[in-house]
Amino acid sequence: MRDLFQYVPGNSLIHRLNPVTKIFLTVVICVAAFITDRIPYLLFLLCVDLGIGFAAGVPRKALGILKGLLRIAVFLFVLQALVVRRGTPVFWIFTDTGLVTASKVVLRLIVVCMPLAMVLAVTRISDLANALVQVLHLPYKYAFTLTTAIRFIPQFLEEMGGIMEAQTARGVEFDTKNAFRKLGLMLPLCAPLLISSVRRSEATAVAAEVRGFRLRTRASGYKQYPFAPADLAVLLFSVLLIAGAVLI
Amino acid sequence: MIRIESFSFTYEGEKAPALEDITLRVEEGGFAGIIGPAGAGKTTLARAVSGIIPHHYPGDYYGRILVGGLDPVDTSLTDLSRIVGMVFQDVESQIVSSVVEDELLYGLENFGVPHEEIPERLETALRQAGIENLRERSIASLSGGQRQKVAIASIIALRPRVLILDEPTGELDPVSSRQIFAMLKTLNEAYGITVIVIEQKIMLLSEFARQLIVLSRGKIAYQGPAREVLSHADELLQLGVNCPRVARLSMLLSERLGKPLPVCVNLDESEAQVRGCLHD
């Protein structure tokens, strides 16, 4: 979980794509997942997700994300299957419609979340911010907010882990198997964590300002992000994905 | 280069001043070390010189500071940062990118360094910090010391006239600490950058800094050339500042032999002095 959003250096085709193309592909996969109403097509999209992960040379990351999502998915599946009461019962109180709906919801969740996490694994945050500013004309302030938020997540988790380890060493039962008890122990940590992250964000603001944050314009970026033939190919692929979702 | 006259500062909401009646000068091309126990106001002084006080920390501000002729009160932080580069104590909060190269690019891009000049600046800064081999590395994968070097490199790439470092060797081992100071010395001597460094390792300061400023409870306890300040070993110890052993040895020798001897600041000097005394 801690390195979920961390960049994995590499030089694959996916790594070299324009960051905007990657974001676009992610959005397209999301849209396709919501347009389609067929389980086979959702499974196909899942294969696309995994395919991207393998093509980018980060299969372990892709499978790791999938594994993480599966845990949430199981919970969501049971909940959804219990809530939907239409259709004929097939097993205990579960109905066929319920199971089908639950499968779709869960598949959508996985299909949508996977590429989002993977974009961050194969794109440098600064490239992402610069490309958004240069190509999509997003104001730098917002790009900076976005990238800082992403960068803070692992730091935040690290800090949380640190506090928990320190307290476990002093006898607090953070290693308990009881999830509710663990949650109860974690709640009091929220205030100190919040304070330290506010303090850290202030420090980051100052540090950015003394390095000319306010002077930055769209033309500041040193690296350029032109669109290459590979980007065009991805664009074409995206159109096919959407068309497939509508037609199949 | 830096002139501080009767400067006092109290953070908003605090009763006691963090700094009181500070008067000091650092000449252009100088190398000043600031030392003092925790809570002495070292970081506050660094913030005041770099303009972060009063722009980011409100409070009662008395006296006057001039940095390269500019008054931080009337100058925007951005303009001031063209002259003063600051490396923060919390390196983590200073880092804005995920890859070393991007971290160095950030400031260069912002300050509008011409794009054709950027590759050379990047390489020079990496070389000066001794981290050419880390250029493509992800920052998350670096050790504390390496991150510190990246933070320093990202500031020296901007070629400021004044470089302020707040405990740059706090997380480093003795060998890396010495490397950082050797690097600061080169920057100071070869590029004429004025260096101000807050540091707890007195041995390094006494060896590299030409001017020492000892702070205690928000006031300047001692300031002057390193040797002169170090001759107050007993008083410094009472303030909570250790004196390097070579300096103490000089003083012990001069006491025992009953003749004044210069205070040594490094091992070579000390060796020569002891040999000289034995010879006599």
Give the domain extent around A20. Answer: 13-124+225-247
pLDDT number for residue A4 = 67
Q: How far apart are the C-alpha atoms of A119 and A100, rounded to whole Å?
A: 29
Shared domain check, A200 and A109? no
Domain assignment present for residue B186? The answer is no
Shared domain check, A109 and A37? yes
Asked whether residue B34 carries a pLDDT value surpassing 80, the answer given is yes
Give the domain extent around B29. Answer: 1-83+162-175+198-226
Shared domain check, A110 and A61? yes
pLDDT number for residue A2 = 54
Which CATH number do you get for residue B63?
A: 3.40.50.300
pLDDT number for residue A3 = 64
B213, β-bridge pairs: B34, B223
The larger pLDDT score, comparing residue B240 to residue A20, is at A20
Of the pLDDT bands very low, low, confident and very high (cuts 50, 70, 90), residue B134 is: very high
Asked whether residue B6 carries a pLDDT value surpassing 90, the answer given is yes
Amino acid at residue number B43: T
The larger pLDDT score, comparing residue B263 to residue B100, is at B100
Q: Of A54, A47, A20, which is closest to residue A241 (Cα–Cα)?
A: A47
Domain assignment present for residue A209? The answer is yes
Disruptive mutation site among B98, B123, B152, B158 for chain A (greatest number of A CBs within 10 Å): B98
DSSP, collapsed to helix, strand or coil, labels residue A55 as helix
Record the tokens describing residue B6, joined without a space. 């009767």
Taking the mean position of all CA atoms in its chain, how far away is CA B224? 15
Domain assignment present for residue A194? The answer is yes
Domain assignment present for residue B35? The answer is yes
Report which secondary-structure segment, H or E, holds B62.
strand B59-67
Shared domain check, A64 and A179? no
Domain assignment present for residue B95? The answer is no
pLDDT number for residue B203 = 86
Shared domain check, A210 and A152? yes
Amino acid at residue number B238: Q
Shared domain check, A33 and A146? no
Handedness of CA B6, B28, B261, B275 (dihedral sign): positive
Q: pLDDT tens digits for chain A (248 residues)?
A: 556 677 887 888 888 999 999 999 999 999 999 999 999 999 999 999 999 999 988 888 888 889 989 989 999 999 998 888 888 888 788 888 889 999 999 999 999 999 988 888 888 888 888 899 988 899 988 988 888 888 888 778 888 888 888 888 888 887 788 888 888 888 888 888 888 888 888 888 888 888 988 888 888 888 888 888 999 999 999 999 999 988 88
Lowest mean pLDDT among B13-17, B144-148, B187-191, B210-214: B144-148
Asked whether residue B85 carries a pLDDT value surpassing 70, the answer given is yes
Q: Of B4, B65, B18, which is closest to residue B216 (Cα–Cα)?
A: B18
Domain assignment present for residue A1? The answer is no
State chain B's maximal CA–CA distance in angstroms: 64
The b-or-e profile of A199-224 (16+ CB within 10 A means b, else e) is ebeebbebbbbbbbbebbeeebbbbe
Q: How far apart are the C-alpha atoms of B203 and B245, rounded to whole Å?
A: 8
The ipTM is 0.79
Chain A: closest CA distance from residue B90 (Å): 8
Reported as a single tens digit per residue, the pLDDT across B54-77 is 898 999 999 999 999 999 999 999
Asked whether residue B201 carries a pLDDT value surpassing 70, the answer given is yes
Contact criterion met (CB < 8 Å) for B93 and A147: no
Partner residue facing B78 (CB), from A205, A214, A221: A214
pLDDT number for residue A183 = 83
Asked whether residue B179 carries a pLDDT value surpassing 60, the answer given is yes
Reported as a single tens digit per residue, the pLDDT across A230-245 is 999 999 999 999 999 8
Domain assignment present for residue A74? The answer is yes
Shared domain check, A65 and A27? yes
Amino acid at residue number B22: I
Asked whether residue B111 carries a pLDDT value surpassing 80, the answer given is yes
Domain assignment present for residue A20? The answer is yes
Q: How far apart are the C-alpha atoms of A143 and A150, rounded to whole Å?
A: 11
Of the pLDDT bands very low, low, confident and very high (cuts 50, 70, 90), residue B263 is: confident
Domain assignment present for residue B249? The answer is no
Shared domain check, A191 and A113? no
Domain assignment present for residue A4? The answer is no
DSSP, collapsed to helix, strand or coil, labels residue A185 as helix
8 Å CB contact between B70 and B83: yes
Contact criterion met (CB < 8 Å) for A6 and B110: no
Chain A: closest CA distance from residue B93 (Å): 5
Domain assignment present for residue A132? The answer is no
Domain assignment present for residue B268? The answer is no
In total, the C-beta contacts within 8 angstroms joining chain A to chain B are 101
How many residues in chain B? 280
Handedness of CA B201, B207, B210, B212 (dihedral sign): positive
Shared domain check, A58 and A110? yes
Report which secondary-structure segment, H or E, holds B87.
strand B84-87
Q: How far apart are the C-alpha atoms of B253 and B260, rounded to whole Å?
A: 9
Count structural domains, chain B: 1
Domain assignment present for residue A76? The answer is yes
Asked whether residue B78 carries a pLDDT value surpassing 60, the answer given is yes
Contact criterion met (CB < 8 Å) for A222 and B93: no
Chain B: closest CA distance from residue A193 (Å): 15
Distances in whole angstroms, Cα of residue A216 to Cα of each of A75, A137, B70, B157: 45, 13, 23, 17
Shared domain check, A120 and A18? yes
- Tell me, yes or no, if A153 comes closer than 8 A to chain B by beta carbon: no
DSSP, collapsed to helix, strand or coil, labels residue A43 as helix
- Tell me, yes or no, if A167 comes closer than 8 A to chain B by beta carbon: no
Reported as a single tens digit per residue, the pLDDT across A13-49 is 888 999 999 999 999 999 999 999 999 999 999 999 9
Contact criterion met (CB < 8 Å) for A206 and B92: no
Contact criterion met (CB < 8 Å) for B140 and A6: yes
Shared domain check, A230 and A157? no
Amino acid at residue number B20: E
Residue B54 preceded by cis peptide, ω within 30: yes
Count structural domains, chain A: 2
Domain assignment present for residue B147? The answer is no
**pTM (two decimals):** 0.80
Domain assignment present for residue B244? The answer is no
8 Å CB contact between A220 and B109: yes
DSSP helix, strand, coil percent of chain B (3-state; round to 5) = 45, 20, 35
Report which secondary-structure segment, H or E, holds A212.
none
Other Cβ atoms closer than 10 A to A111: 25
Domain assignment present for residue B40? The answer is yes
Of the pLDDT bands very low, low, confident and very high (cuts 50, 70, 90), residue B52 is: very high
Q: How far apart are the C-alpha atoms of A61 and A54, rounded to whole Å?
A: 9
